[in-house]
Chain A
Amino acid sequence: MSQSGPQDPGFPADLPQHARERLAEMRSKKLFTSDLSVNEFLLVKQAGFDPLGLVMGTSIYQITPSIPRIPSGQPGCELIDMTRALYHARELAMNRMEEEASVLGADGIIGVRLTVNLNTDPQRAAYEQYREWQRWARRVGYARGVTQLGAAWAASWQQIAWNQWVTWTQQNGWAPQPPPWARPRGEASYALGQNVAEFMAIGTAIRHREGDHYKNPKGKPFQSDLTGQDFWTLIRAGYRPVGFVMGNCVYYVPPELLRAPDQKSTELTAYTHALYDARELAIERLQYEAEALEATGIVGVTVSEQQHSWRAGLWNAGNAALATGELIELFVIGTAVVPMATTAAPPRPELVIAVNDSAVAAPEEGSEE
């Protein structure tokens, strides 16, 4: 990926032309941009760092599942190709973000948000519309048998839904108008293609004011998903982040393992084992990455179990897992830290009653499912 444009030997070829222009302008005019809140901005300043700029990287990746044929009675297995693809997509986005930060001369990036935008899959969009129609039809009194179209939903639902809607609007004497499931939505609803997702990393690049060395052992800026508050606390407590560490594992569970042999309350041992195995594999890879960075510990680890609904065909876009098996991604990410030479005792917390407005969750871009 490269583009012609104002070339500067300091710029990696991976970054688009407008990124070069923006970063060069930011460097020359001494302007910083950041997505830090005011509190975070002040704390980062207090910790001895200056924000340099908002940096981002993105990668749009096609990930095609290949469901293996597993003999009956055998346990599930990892899908190595998908694991690698999902890891590579995130790595590409993170590397591009890191390159932008390097251009700005940053020591690190904080507040990194990794998002996977799955709204770009037309199948998913169609399925959501189908579900919305089902809910509407039940509400206005259509029987369950009329709205449950089963595996062949994709071919027939639009015609049935449209006929119902026209009847309904005529009964109510409404002017012709689009049905609720076909109205535009606020969230990104462009259809890039089947099994295509966007992976994005965005964060604020920072640099130490006195020029202390905060880069990681590879000489690159550290990345971390810590907030400004967490970053300040960590520095105060005598630790510094060295980078993101992540591990993932895509696991396939065949359909026989998803239900008990008879109608009894019992543990699905093989299913449990599969999930257990996937999680352990992901965490093992996370630890391996942390060791490569010579970290002493990992903070803020999140384990997420994501069912991306990446399927081989349209007939399988719904919850058809019981027929074809389950495809799960276990994704583990955290910030690796090392202790700094410090003599200060860790700070003692005080108890307060905060009068802040109750935290209003900011709407996140994309969706991590």
Chain B
Amino acid sequence: MTPRPVPALSDLSVTEFLTLSRMGFLPHGLVIGSSVYEANTSQNQQGVSLWNLLFGSGAQLPTIVTGEVVALSEAVRGARTLGIARTRAQAADLAAEGVVGVRLHVEHHVWRGGHQVAKFVAMGTAVAFDHDHGPTELRGAPSLRLANGAPFMSDLSGQDFVALLRAGYRPVTVASGTCVYQLDPQEVGRYRGYNGEIGAYTQAFFDARETAMARLQQDLFSEWPPGHPDAPIGIVGMTVSEVAHGDQRFQGPPVVEFTAVGTAVAPLSPQDPRRANTRPKPRIVVPLDR
């Protein structure tokens, strides 16, 4: 176990730092995990050679089918899992209990030779409870590390993290799910000239977002199944965002990546002194700041 590194880097704002340190949490350092991943898209490209077209059996022109690009989805998922695992390992090296304010970032590049590469970065501040620094009534607080000793991860701000603890919940991990979808550009031509829903596209977008959210749940449950001491009871602050790969505006079929991200939370142990005795009672206030 290494002691708290001093000075510890952090990307906390002043308010976050004060809120955390009042609860006895001090930053242990900025942690960054990254991974660069190459997607094997060869099974997606139907090979068309002149020979096949002229003489071969089963000659076909490449067709773009609306549907998931499984190789890309897997690449993004793999990169993300590695990046998060590295951030977690770095936080463990810093003797941290967990990471708050995790930000996830993915960039896609098509590098020379047509290699589809996903670059993934996860970044946050590692924090740990300091028994000498914290308030006296919290001295005996148990660690927030997961059952296997790994630090927790959360994309919540310092204030949100403290509010969650007071309410009797603790973050477990940053959960994410991804689905990369490709669209057939011919579809819209069938609807030229009148008002109406483009059913195939709606279905594709709807399904892609749902797949991203379903994968998030599946990955979460495969690691922490119900009954596990860290089994999450829910996900807060979930967002579903979409990014187009490359510049698809004038060439190539549209390829869109849908990503669902949120923080999985589990209940705090009942004897944890950080749990507020009464539920925080909201009051209606008029803030005087601008």
Is the CB–CB distance between B202 and A351 below 8 Å?
A: no
Counting CB contacts under 8 A, is A39 at the interface? yes
Looking across the interface, which residue of chain B has its beta carbon closest to that of A96? Answer: B206
The smallest C-beta distance from A133 to any residue of chain B, in angstroms, reads 14
Counting CB contacts under 8 A, is A60 at the interface? yes
Expressed in whole angstroms, the Cα–Cα distance for A300 and B16 within the complex equals 31
Is the CB–CB distance between A37 and B254 below 8 Å?
A: no
The smallest C-beta distance from B17 to any residue of chain A, in angstroms, reads 11
Residues of B within 8 A of A82 (CB): 195
Expressed in whole angstroms, the Cα–Cα distance for A194 and B248 within the complex equals 15
Which DSSP category, helix, strand, loop or mixed, fits chain A's interface?
Answer: mixed
Counting CB contacts under 8 A, is B49 at the interface? no
Residues of A within 8 A of B199 (CB): 1
Is the CB–CB distance between A29 and B226 below 8 Å?
A: yes
Is the CB–CB distance between A192 and B254 below 8 Å?
A: yes
Chain B residues bordering chain A, tally (CB within 8 A): 73
Counting CB contacts under 8 A, is B233 at the interface? yes
- Interface positions, chain B 163-191, Cβ under 8 Å from A, are 163-164, 167, 183, 185, 188-189, 191
Expressed in whole angstroms, the Cα–Cα distance for A51 and B163 within the complex equals 17
- Interface positions, chain A 28-47, Cβ under 8 Å from B, are 29-39, 41-43, 45-46
Counting CB contacts under 8 A, is B30 at the interface? no
Residues of B within 8 A of A30 (CB): 226, 233
Looking across the interface, which residue of chain B has its beta carbon closest to that of A351? Answer: B286
Counting CB contacts under 8 A, is B209 at the interface? yes
Expressed in whole angstroms, the Cα–Cα distance for A18 and B240 within the complex equals 15
Q: Among B191, B193, B249, which residue has its beta carbon within 8 angstroms of that of A191?
A: B249
Expressed in whole angstroms, the Cα–Cα distance for A351 and B288 within the complex equals 7
Is the CB–CB distance between A18 and B214 below 8 Å?
A: yes
Residues of B within 8 A of A36 (CB): 236-237
Is the CB–CB distance between B214 and A38 below 8 Å?
A: no
Is the CB–CB distance between B282 and A43 below 8 Å?
A: yes
Expressed in whole angstroms, the Cα–Cα distance for A46 and B168 within the complex equals 13
Is the CB–CB distance between B16 and A60 below 8 Å?
A: no
Counting CB contacts under 8 A, is B112 at the interface? no
Expressed in whole angstroms, the Cα–Cα distance for A46 and B233 within the complex equals 17
The smallest C-beta distance from B109 to any residue of chain A, in angstroms, reads 9
Expressed in whole angstroms, the Cα–Cα distance for A43 and B236 within the complex equals 13
With A21-B214, A35-B239, A58-B209: A354-B249 Cβ-Cβ less than 8 Å: no
Is the CB–CB distance between B157 and A357 below 8 Å?
A: yes
Residues of B within 8 A of A187 (CB): 244
Counting CB contacts under 8 A, is A350 at the interface? yes
Is the CB–CB distance between A122 and B249 below 8 Å?
A: yes
Looking across the interface, which residue of chain A has its beta carbon closest to that of B209? Answer: A56
Expressed in whole angstroms, the Cα–Cα distance for A125 and B254 within the complex equals 13
Counting CB contacts under 8 A, is A282 at the interface? no
Is the CB–CB distance between B256 and A188 below 8 Å?
A: yes
Is the CB–CB distance between B236 and A18 below 8 Å?
A: no
For the complex of A and B, the 8 pairs showing the least CB-CB separation, nearest first, are A190-B254, A193-B188, A85-B195, A18-B210, A32-B234, A38-B160, A60-B201, A16-B207
User: Can you list 23 A-B contacts with CB-CB less than 8 angstroms, sorted by A residue number?
Assistant: A15-B210, A16-B210, A19-B210, A25-B218, A29-B221, A33-B217, A43-B282, A54-B213, A96-B206, A126-B250, A183-B247, A184-B244, A189-B244, A190-B255, A191-B249, A191-B250, A196-B188, A348-B284, A351-B288, A352-B285, A352-B287, A356-B15, A357-B157
Residues on A lying within 8 angstroms of B by beta carbon are 1, 3, 15-19, 21-22, 25-26, 29-39, 41-43, 45-46, 51, 54, 56-64, 81-82, 84-85, 88-89, 92, 96, 122, 125-126, 129, 182-194, 196, 198, 200, 202, 232-233, 236, 347-357, 365
